[in-house]
Chains A and B, each alone.
Chain A
Amino acid sequence: MRIINQFPTRRSRLILGVVPFAAIAVIYALASRIRLEANPADRLLPAFSSMFDTFVRLATEPDRRSGDIVLWTDTLASLSRLGLGLGIAAAIALVLGIMIGFVPKFRATLAPLVGAMSLIPPLAILPILFIVFGLDELSKVALIVIGITPVMTRDLASRVADIPEEQIVKAQTLGASSWAMTLRVVLPQTLPRLVASLRLALGPAWLFLIAAEAIAATDGLGYRIFLVRRYLAMDVILPYVAWITLLAWLSDLALREFAARAFPWSKSGGGL
């Protein structure tokens, strides 16, 4: 039988899904053990147990220097930057996306600009961002916003342009003004795509957040990772990476659940 027609059973699917994770864990555990036998103080590949201990320490004990429990301070700082950045980016992308997708004159004016902006690598213009936005929270949020807004805008504009012309014509025959159509026809049909777009932007947003925190910060998950990298504390870095992965996965899940509840009429709301 052709391979595309062979379907694993439920149990096989579970096992096959777990195999790569288990293999990575085994590779890590072995390599770590070999290194630790040669040098018990090795920092490159700490044992799972010492990573766990470090994580528990970071999550429960106040830091010797600042007195804060660093995991929670860092998480709170990073999540608030991320949330603010995603929120602002979503608002800008929604307004611009609808303008570009719905109003031909705005499209002619703005589409080339947004297209060009989306091609600029934001990390390459960091010094300009510093001078414009300073080094505080603002510049970190700005980096996220600048990093993800153009792509989200283009995505939303194309979704708006994809709304069947029949609906727009129909709305006009029902007496709608441009503003009323924007509010009652275009906006609600764009919102599920906005959520989907946000889910796709989560990855880049984390990337820009961590880059921003690496440059100048006093707290944050990215700050901690780059700080302890100075003394190769992989026992801090690896659990932090796992923690970030978990947070990213949870935020994706939350957005998906939100879309399924908020837009029951939309296929793309619940799917993916």
Chain B
Amino acid sequence: MSTVDVQNIALSIGGVPILERVNLSVTSGEFCAIVGASGCGKSTFLRMLLSQQRPSSGAILIDGETVAPEPTPDRGIVFQKYSVFPHLTVAGNLVLPADFASGSPLARLFGARRRNARAAAMAMLEKIGLGPHADKYPAQLSGGQQQRLAIAQALSMKPKILLLDEPFGALDPGIRADMHELLSGLWKETRMTVFMVTHDIGEAFKLGTRVLVFDKIRPDGGKAGPAGATITYDLKLDREQRRARALAGAALVAAAPARTANDA
């Protein structure tokens, strides 16, 4: 639905470069999976897309406009944990965005509007299979159920782009496959632009239409001090490739020497 342009952003903290020369142009409806070694700045990149972190230089544009300097509803987020509100029931978590939007001084809907919001929430819960759990608290749910709820909550604002920070990292493999199905389904339905950070290469190739690999390299061979990370691989996948590479992806990326990345 929305294009994202990342224009030569860099970030250094306390003089230490974290990211540099990151350029990216994403067309509407792409599913970008971001992979890389831990500490390579992939989560930091996601935080910058969210405006949770401001780049030292460069710009991020959504639909041609610079992003707001703080998190806004045009970008939804699902974190690995702490993504839902522990003090609200499952249904309460889904009604909360409507409460926020109500403009009421108590930040809460009342009466018929509350009943409507609750009905919409219940419909969504039925869809993601949490209908019977509507009145439970998140702590009473399994990890997979909590992440379903978190995704549903993020989508309820109909964001232009959806950001996922290792959303399934803490889940069992079986549950993870279910979650992949849910996420693909929702993505196909909404066609929104997605960025997902993951450390699971297979997951990246299975879900992504494009795989971005972050790594630290230096054009001069690393002689001039520490380097920030940048995008070293930018693989655009078509449907067949995705199917094939979902199986072989891990081996492919692991075997690719970082030094040849410039040629890519």
Q: Tell me, yes or no, whether A and B come into direct contact in the complex with CB atoms closer than 8 A.
A: yes
Asked if B54 is an interface residue, CB under 8 A from chain A, the answer is: no
A18 to chain B, nearest CB (A): 37
Contact partner, B137, options A173, A180, A185, A265, Cβ 8 Å: A265
Q: Is the CB of B87 within 8 A of A266?
A: yes
Return chain A residues, CB-CB under 8 Å to B52.
165, 169
Choose, from B23-31, B76-84, B211-219, B245-253, the stretch at the interface: B76-84
Q: Is the CB of A166 within 8 A of B79?
A: yes
B198 to chain A, nearest CB (A): 17
Q: Is the CB of A173 within 8 A of B154?
A: yes
Asked if B96 is an interface residue, CB under 8 A from chain A, the answer is: yes
What is the predominant secondary structure among interface residues of chain A facing chain B?
A: helix
Q: Is the CB of A166 within 8 A of B83?
A: yes
Quick one: which of A126-174 are within 8 Å of B by CB? 164-167, 169-174
Contact partner, A167, options B75, B85, B97, B106, Cβ 8 Å: B85
Return chain B residues, CB-CB under 8 Å to A115.
none
A173-B71, A174-B73 as given contacts; A166 in contact with B82, CB under 8 Å: yes
What is the predominant secondary structure among interface residues of chain B facing chain A?
A: loop
Asked if B72 is an interface residue, CB under 8 A from chain A, the answer is: yes
Return chain A residues, CB-CB under 8 Å to B201.
none
A180-B107, A183-B107, A265-B87 as given contacts; A167 in contact with B71, CB under 8 Å: no
18 residue pairs from A and B, CB less than 8 Å apart: A164-B82, A166-B81, A166-B83, A170-B153, A170-B154, A172-B70, A172-B72, A173-B50, A173-B75, A173-B157, A175-B72, A175-B100, A180-B107, A183-B107, A183-B108, A184-B96, A188-B87, A264-B137
Question: Which positions in B face A, CB cutoff 8 Å?
Answer: 50, 52, 70-73, 75-77, 79, 81-88, 96-97, 99-101, 105-108, 137-139, 153-154, 156-157, 159
Question: Which positions in A face B, CB cutoff 8 Å?
Answer: 164-167, 169-177, 179-180, 183-185, 188-189, 263-267
